[in-house]
């Protein structure tokens, strides 16, 4: 995100963001709206759209940057970052620049907020001066990124007042209560609402025939349309978790082991019906076949919204009905509410002192936007199409490690997907939007996707220790299937973990065949098949001599899976291994593992 001034008495705030899935864009727009309410001129766009040649003439820049993979910048920041790293840039290039960097990250990743930290350092190297210290927001915090974002933005405005001696006082009036990003209008009202025709209809009337994102394939060669050719459950029917191996066909695709696929999911028919039920209940005259036009007002209109769409298409494919409202959402709702009790509660949720209560209301039970609208009926009755575009959040693309090999299955992409479903204190179970949608797909259904380099950098010339419990095994299946087509696998060890050998041993036939025919060393931890729980770190301890032999031969460790406890437990085991087998002190063993990490011989890919 970037802020630039032209004149002291006429500040123009340009907000630039770097984000893979859109969170940084949300925060950038939050700052943009704050600037507009203060009566300041402001625009917002991505870093990819910013001309870096303007950088030396800027006076004040604030970046909001997410981090991907192994500390990499997001896709729409990469070109900007490459230009900023040019060796011929003078050390005084940014001598007139004051800057601030707000990073959005996840502390479950070892390289937490690396992209923001590297950017902050590079700006200083080029002569820039910090306006305020770097902000490092953490998605793992109880309050989410808002725990850092909100006080950081407040500090930003305080520093702008002190340094540039301008007023940033809110200029609130009826005209700027709601800052609208787009021009939104209804160009055709079709009241043939399925809800009124037949209340039993819960399927096709709430699903559109066309995919609104298919048009992206015309402007971006990387975006593709794939066809589902197989959707297999890899866990037993009586297992608590539904895990799918989904096979997608697409011609002329290229990827390597370790690469990832981004998929655009949709809301379920049940969720879409619930949305329209809420509109109907509150007598909001918006129907599924109402045609909507979105035009540019303050913010550039996303390409997908540049053609007229029905409300059904927008609700099913653009708005995230599982979205957990943030503090800024509650603030917007509080501005339109005219019910005293509801307005008071919404204002409290939007205030700094109400963040713990907001966490208990939203984050702990994972309450979604539809449930919030139901809980505040008087406020919901004030909704119209323009307000809906302000409180709803777009569906973010979901990322999955590719589990297949083009050598083994040409023109195929396979993903190993665990269907997210769990209970909270709310009656209705929570579910993952994308995983549930993917699990529902049938043969010949279509998916919109694109491929991208993953975080792993495999060294095929050296021994490999692969650790992938659960669906973390996906990138290693891709790697092993690829290598098996060309060479023996005697220099590979796979540690896999699950609950039960007969219930959730994903892709068992593949690994048993590779062990039998290609000399792959496979060690499985089935944690619930005996009285004492056995995890992958216990098997590493059992195979400590073999692991040390691999490491002595310049082997590398690759780990993928849930970030909760497993990565730390595995790392501790390798420290212990270095102490015991390598005859090192505790300090030497820790230094040894850190050296492996810094030299990319110990790579991790984890998620919360």
Q: Do domains 13-164 and 464-606 have the same CATH topology?
A: yes
Q: What is the pLDDT of residues 336-391, one digit of tens each?
A: 999 999 999 999 999 989 989 999 999 899 999 999 999 999 999 999 999 999 99
Rounded CA gap, 262 and 201, in Å? 32
Binding residues for NADP(+): 471, 527-528, 533-537
Contact 178, 390 (CB under 8 A): yes
User: Which residues are paired to 42 by β-bridges?
Assistant: 13
Binding residues: 19-24, 66-69, 104-113, 139, 366, 398-401, 432-435, 471, 527-528, 533-537, 607
Residue-level pLDDT at 196: 41
- Quick one: which of 390, 396, 520 has its CA closest to 468? 520
DSSP state string for 381-420: TT--HHHHHHH--BPPPEEEEB---TTTSTTEEEEEEEPP
Rounded CA gap, 10 and 485, in Å? 64
| 3-state SS class at 431 | strand
CA triplet 469, 475, 479: central angle to 5 degrees? Answer: 120
Contact 242, 309 (CB under 8 A): no
Task: Kindly list the strands in the beta sheet with 309-310, ordered across the sheet, starting from the edge strand earlier in the chain.
Answer: 182-188, 291-296, 309-310
| 3-state SS class at 418 | strand
79-86's contacts with Cβ under 8 Å and 24+ in sequence apart are: 79/48, 80/18, 80/47, 80/48, 80/50, 80/52, 81/115, 81/119, 83/52, 84/52, 84/119, 84/122, 84/126, 85/122
Q: In this structure, what DSSP letter does residue 72 have?
A: B
- How many other C-beta atoms can be found within 10 angstroms of the C-beta atom of residue 33? 23
Contact 515, 487 (CB under 8 A): no
With tokens 């060890």, the residue in question is 493
| Helix ranges (DSSP H) in 485-585 | 508-518, 536-542, 544-552, 566-580
Rounded CA gap, 99 and 263, in Å? 35
What are the residue boundaries of the structural domains of the chain, listed by start? 13-164, 464-606
Strands, E, within 390-502: which ranges? 398-401, 412-418, 421-422, 430-431, 446-452, 464-467, 492-498
> What tokens appear for 51 in the block?
């001309």
> What tokens appear for 359 in the block?
């966490």
Listed as ranges, residues in the chain with pLDDT below 50 are 3-8, 193-203
Rounded CA gap, 585 and 223, in Å? 51
Residue-level pLDDT at 9: 52
Residue-level pLDDT at 423: 86
Domain range 464-606, CATH architecture: 3-Layer(aba) Sandwich (3.40)
Supply the mean pLDDT for the chain. 90
Torsion of CA 328, 111, 578, 496, to 10 degrees: 60
Rounded CA gap, 525 and 543, in Å? 12
The model carries a pTM of 0.90
Displacement of CA 180 from its chain's centroid (Å): 25
- Quick one: which of 415, 401, 405 has its CA closest to 447? 415
Contact 293, 301 (CB under 8 A): no
Binding residues for FAD: 366, 398-401, 432-435, 607
Does the domain at 13-164 match CATH 3.40.640.10? Answer given as no
Contact 580, 548 (CB under 8 A): no
Rounded CA gap, 573 and 541, in Å? 7
Residue-level pLDDT at 176: 54
Residue-level pLDDT at 195: 43
Residue-level pLDDT at 204: 52
Displacement of CA 67 from its chain's centroid (Å): 10
What backbone torsions phi and psi does residue 328 show, to the nearest 5 degrees? -65, -35
User: Which residues are paired to 129 by β-bridges?
Assistant: 98
> What tokens appear for 20 in the block?
């893979």
| 3-state SS class at 546 | helix
Residue-level pLDDT at 7: 46
| 3-state SS class at 112 | coil
Contact 548, 577 (CB under 8 A): yes
Contact 372, 321 (CB under 8 A): no
Rounded CA gap, 538 and 200, in Å? 53
Q: In this structure, what DSSP letter does residue 258 have?
A: T
User: Which residues are paired to 63 by β-bridges?
Assistant: 16, 101
Contact 236, 502 (CB under 8 A): yes
Binding residues for FMN: 19-24, 66-69, 104-113, 139
Q: Most distant CA pair in the chain: distance in Å?
A: 77
Rounded CA gap, 377 and 369, in Å? 13
Angstrom CA distances, 444 to 252, 267, 299, 316, 411, stand at: 18, 19, 37, 19, 15
Contact 156, 100 (CB under 8 A): yes
Strands 602-607 and 556-562: parallel
Rounded CA gap, 202 and 209, in Å? 15
User: Which residues are paired to 447 by β-bridges?
Assistant: 226
């Amino acid at each position: 995100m970037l802020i630039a001034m032209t004149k002291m008495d006429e500040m123009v705030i340009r907000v630039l963001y770097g984000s893979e899935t859109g969170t940084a864009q949300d925060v950038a727009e939050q700052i943009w709206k704050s600037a507009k309410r203060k009566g300041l001129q402001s625009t917002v766009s991505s870093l990819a759209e910013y001309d870096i040649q303007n950088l030396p003439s800027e006076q004040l820049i604030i970046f909001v940057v997410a981090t991907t993979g192994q500390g990499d910048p997001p896709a729409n920041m990469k070109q900007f970052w490459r230009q900023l790293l040019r060796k011929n840039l003078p050390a005084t290039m940014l001598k007139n620049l004051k800057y601030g960097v707000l990073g959005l990250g996840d502390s479950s990743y070892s390289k937490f907020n690396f992209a923001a930290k590297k950017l902050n350092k590079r700006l200083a190297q080029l002569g820039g001066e910090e306006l305020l210290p770097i902000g490092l927001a953490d998605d793992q915090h109880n309050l989410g990124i808002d725990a850092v974002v909100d006080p950081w933005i407040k500090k930003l405005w305080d520093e702008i007042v002190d340094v540039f001696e301008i007023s940033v006082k809110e200029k609130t009036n009826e005209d700027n209560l709601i800052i609208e990003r787009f021009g939104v209008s209804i160009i055709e009202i079709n009241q043939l609402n399925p809800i009124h025709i037949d209340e039993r209809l819960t399927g096709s009337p709430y699903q559109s025939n066309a995919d609104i994102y298919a048009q992206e394939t015309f402007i971006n060669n990387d975006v593709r349309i794939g066809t589902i050719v197989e959707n297999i459950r890899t866990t037993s029917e009586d297992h608590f978790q539904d895990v799918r191996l989904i096979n997608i066909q697409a011609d002329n695709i290229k990827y390597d082991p370790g690469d990832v696929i981004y998929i655009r999911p949709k809301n379920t028919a049940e969720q879409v019906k619930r949305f329209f039920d809420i509109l109907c209940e509150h007598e909001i005259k918006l129907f599924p076949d109402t045609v909507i036009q979105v035009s540019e007002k303050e913010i550039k209109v996303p390409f997908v919204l540049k053609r007229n769409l029905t409300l059904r298409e927008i609700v099913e494919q653009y708005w995230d009905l599982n979205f957990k409202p943030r503090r800024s959402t509650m603030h917007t709702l509080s501005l339109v509410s005219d019910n005293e009790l509801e307005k008071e509660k919404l204002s409290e949720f939007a205030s700094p002192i109400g963040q713990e209560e907001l966490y208990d209301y939203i984050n702990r039970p994972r309450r979604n936007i539809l449930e919030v609208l139901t809980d505040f009926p008087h406020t919901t009755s004030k909704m119209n199409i323009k307000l809906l575009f302000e409180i709803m959040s777009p569906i973010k693309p979901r990322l999955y490690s590719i589990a297949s090999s083009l050598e083994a299955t040409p023109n195929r992409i396979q993903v190993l997907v665990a269907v997210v479903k769990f209970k909270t204190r709310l009656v209705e179970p929570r579910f993952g939007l994308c995983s549930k949608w993917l699990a529902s797909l049938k043969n010949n259904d279509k998916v919109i996707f694109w491929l991208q380099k993953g975080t792993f950098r495999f060294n095929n010339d050296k021994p490999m220790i692969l650790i992938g419990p659960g669906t973390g095994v996906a990138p290693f299946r891709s790697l092993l299937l690829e290598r098996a087509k060309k060479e023996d696998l005697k220099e590979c060890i796979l540690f896999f973990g699950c609950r039960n050998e007969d219930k959730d041993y994903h892709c068992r036939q593949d690994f048993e065949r590779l062990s039998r025919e290609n000399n792959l060393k496979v060690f499985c931890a089935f944690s619930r098949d005996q009285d004492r729980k056995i995890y992958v770190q216990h098997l590493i301890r059992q195979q400590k001599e073999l692991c040390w032999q691999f490491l002595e031969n310049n082997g590398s460790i690759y780990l993928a899976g849930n970030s909760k406890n497993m990565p730390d437990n595995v790392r501790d085991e390798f420290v212990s291994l270095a102490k015991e087998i390598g005859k090192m002190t505790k300090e030497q063993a820790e230094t040894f593992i850190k050296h492996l990490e810094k030299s990319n011989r110990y790579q991790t890919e984890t998620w919360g």
